[in-house]
Amino acid sequence: MFIKVIMAIGLLGVTPIQATEFRGSVSLQLVDTMEHPQHVILVHPLSFIDSTGETWTTQANRVIPLNLLTDELRLTRPLPNPFEYLKTIILYNGQAENALTNWRDMQAIVYEALIEEGLQEHWAKMIYAAVRAEGWRWEPVESSCFRSCHANSPYLRWRPLPDYAQLLDTIDWILIDFPSLPEINDRVDSLIIKTGPHIFGQ
């Protein structure tokens, strides 16, 4: 029966779901200066294999902020301690700092990374919703945008502005109603007031 199932998947052209996995150790050096308060330097590379088999890597020697969420959320809702999902913070912020990947694709795997770190489903969905609503977005440094209108810019990052009252209601809704990820996406996307100052990559 097991062999028949594998053969059927192959014949239908369906890609089997890969097991998610973090690879690499979290070895950090604390950086706490006026320019980089509450930042760290990753000593060794950290990678994440998502459910499609794609690898996302935060390279070593990059200065990374320790927070994934803004104070508007962290100070108003009893969300998990950031050290409970430290690898996801390093993964996401490392991609934002490096700006080589697409921010939409990176946001999409945040939930998988949180689950892999051991967070319960409702906590993972609440943090995922917050990242989708207010998380860093960026223009990949190798895009045509940098070859034209932003040729002199070292990087281009921004945060969207959500309606925080609605976002807090959404986080409570996730805790009570246990919605699906597509339902969360639709609700979060509707509460973003300003997508950002940059017209590309929206």
pLDDT at 202: 46
SS3 state at 8: helix
Structure confidence by residue, pLDDT tens digits, 136-172? 998 876 655 555 555 565 568 889 999 999 999 999 9
% of residues, the chain, pLDDT over 90: 51
Helix (H, G, I), strand (E, B) or coil at 167: helix
The Cα 4–Cα 193 span in angstroms is: 50
pTM over 0.85: no
pLDDT at residue 69 greater than cutoff 50: yes
pLDDT surpasses 60 at 6 = no
- Residues 165, 187, 55, 148, Cα dihedral to 10°: -80
For CA atoms 42, 51, 4, 13, give the dihedral sign: negative
